[in-house]
Amino acid sequence: MARWLQGKLVFHHEALESIMKKIARIYDVQVVWTDEQAKSVTFNGSVNRTKKLATVLNFFRKTGEVDFKVEGKTITISSKRK
C-alpha cells in the first residue's frame, strides 16, 4: 500500500520548496519565503499527515536548517544557514 494512503507524507532527498507545496495543500495554508536559500534545503523522512501543523513544522525545525513563523494561515520560512 502506498504510504500516502497510510496517512504519511514521505520524502527522499526532497527540497523543502516541494515539501511545503504539499503541506500547504494538506493544511490549507500559504507559504512565504524570506530566504530563497531555504527552498533548496533537502530532507529525508516521513511525517504523519494527521499530526498538527506545528508538530510537522517542528520535524523540519529540529534539523537546525530552517525556521518557521506561523501567523494565522500563513507560514513564513527562513533559512538558518550562514
Q: Which domains does the chain have, with CATH numbers?
A: 3-79 (3.55.50.30)
Q: What is the 3-state secondary structure (H, E, C) of the chain?
A: CCHHHHCEEEEEEEEHHHHHHHHHHHHCCEEEECCHHHHCCEEEEEEECCCCHHHHHHHHHCCCCEEEEEECCEEEEEECCC
Per-residue pLDDT of the chain (82 residues; tens, 9 = 90+): 444 446 888 889 999 999 999 999 999 999 999 999 999 999 998 888 888 999 999 999 998 899 999 999 999 999 886 5
The whole-number pLDDT of residue 7 equals 80
